[in-house]
Amino acid sequence: MKRNLLTLIIGALLVVIFALLLFAFQVRQSEVAVLMTFGKPVRNITEPGAYFKWPWPIQKVYRFDQRVQNFEDKFSEGLTSDNNNLIATVYVGWRISDAAVFVPKFPGDADVSMPNAQRQLEGMLRSSALAVMGKHPLSDFVNSNPQDLKFDAVEQEINSSVQARLQANNYGIKIEFLGIKKLALPDNVTTAVFDRMKSERQVLISKAQYEGEAEAQNIKSAADRQAAETVANADAAATRIRGAGEAEAAKTLPVFQQNPELANFLLRVDALKQSLNSRATLIFDERTPPFDLFRNLPANPQP
Tell me, yes or no, whether 90 and 165 share the same domain.
yes
How many Å separate Cα 159 from the centre of its chain? 23
Q: Based on the fold, state whether residues 102 and 125 are members of the same structural domain.
A: yes
Whether residue 220 is contained in a domain is answered as yes
d(CA 67, CA 140): 34
End position of a domain, from candidates 64, 80, 103 = 64
Residue 300 within a domain: no
Cα–Cα distance measured from residue 46 to residue 31, given in angstroms and rounded to the nearest whole number: 7
- Domain hosting residue 158, numbered range: 69-185
Are 172 and 143 contained in the same domain? yes
My answer on whether 175 and 231 are in the same domain is: no
In a domain, 139, yes or no: yes
Same domain, 244 and 178: no
d(Cα 103, Cα 117) in Å, to the nearest integer? 10
| pLDDT reading at 300 higher than 80 | no
- Digit-coded pLDDT (tens) for 185-227: 766 655 665 666 677 777 888 888 888 888 888 888 888 888 8
| Whole-prediction pTM | 0.54
Could you read off the pLDDT of 137-158 as tens digits, one per residue? 888 887 778 888 888 898 899 9
Identify whether 14 is part of a domain: yes
| For residue 93, pLDDT beyond 90 | yes
**d(C-alpha 160, C-alpha 182), whole Å:** 20
Residue 167 to residue 196: CA distance in whole angstroms: 41
Do 171 and 202 sit in the same domain of this protein? no
Among 64-68, 245-249, 278-282, the range of highest mean pLDDT: 64-68
Does residue 191 lie in a domain region? no
Distance, CA of 71 to CA of 270 (rounded, Å):
107
The residue among 150, 185, 220 that closes a domain is 185
* Residue 180 located in a structural domain: yes
Does 179 lie in the same domain as 82? yes
* 179 and 73 belong to one structural domain: yes
Residue 271 counted as domain residue: yes
pLDDT at position 157 is: 92
> Which CATH number characterizes residue 105's domain?
3.30.479.30
Give the count of domains, the chain. Answer: 4
Q: Give the pLDDT of residue 303.
A: 45
Q: Is residue 11 part of a domain?
A: yes
The residue out of 185, 215, 236 marking a domain boundary is 185
Whether residues 37 and 114 fall in one domain: no
The answer on 17 and 123 residing in a single domain is no
| Strand pairing category for 85-96 and 173-184 | antiparallel
Looking at the structure, do residues 75 and 116 belong to the same domain, yes or no?
A: yes
The answer to whether residues 94 and 175 belong to one domain is yes
